[in-house]
Amino acid sequence: MVLISFAIGGCAGNDAALGDPARGLKCVDDSNVCISQRKMVYDSYMADKSHAWVNQPAGPHEYASGVRLMALSKKRKELTCSELAHGKEEADRGPAALSGGAYVGLTSAQVARGAMLSREVSKELAQEMARRCR
């Protein structure tokens, strides 16, 4: 599945510190440390019944890591209509956020994958919204 391999994969240097609470969102390389950090953040999102993370802002590295987008995709059936709308807006901003030049440290492949994942998740969220939000 594209989403799973995207969150695990990445191919650039990383300077996220181990003590940084958002390290898994900015850690985009293929090192075991980054993979573990992204998994920890993803797992915390899956366990968060309040979905508080949905309303947090996302930047280029968050799009490139794929963690938030994958979590939105996985949780879409549990999200409220408001959360779905916020998530879709976030996914819609992904390609522009990645092409805006603020992605220091990301490879062109990571930027392309982040944009692709953003578009895919946007479609999934739109379908879910159409199915149950009026």
H-state helical runs in the chain: 2-8, 23-26, 32-47, 60-65, 67-75, 81-99, 108-132
Give the domain ranges of the chain: 2-132
* Spatial contact of 53 and 45, defined as CB atoms under 8 Å apart: yes
Q: Is the pLDDT of residue 92 over 60?
A: yes
pLDDT at 39 > cutoff 50: yes
d(CA 62, CA 24): 9
Burial of 54 (0-12, 13-18, 19+ CB in 10 A): buried
Which of the residue ranges 61-65, 99-103, 114-118 has the most confident prediction, judged by mean pLDDT?
Answer: 114-118
User: Residue 18 — pLDDT band, cuts 50, 70, 90?
Assistant: very low
Sorted by sequence, the CB contacts under 8 Å of residue 9 that are 6+ apart come out as 30, 113
pTM of the model: 0.80
pLDDT at 21 over 50: no
Mean pLDDT over 7-29 rounds to 52
> Does the pLDDT of residue 126 top 90, yes or no?
yes
**Is residue 114 within 8 Å of residue 98, measured between CB atoms?**
yes
Whether the pLDDT of residue 22 is over 70: the answer is no
pLDDT reading at 122 higher than 60: yes
Angle between helices 67-75 and 32-47 (to 10 degrees): 30
* Higher pLDDT, residue 33 or 100: 33
> End-to-end alpha-carbon separation of the chain, Å?
30
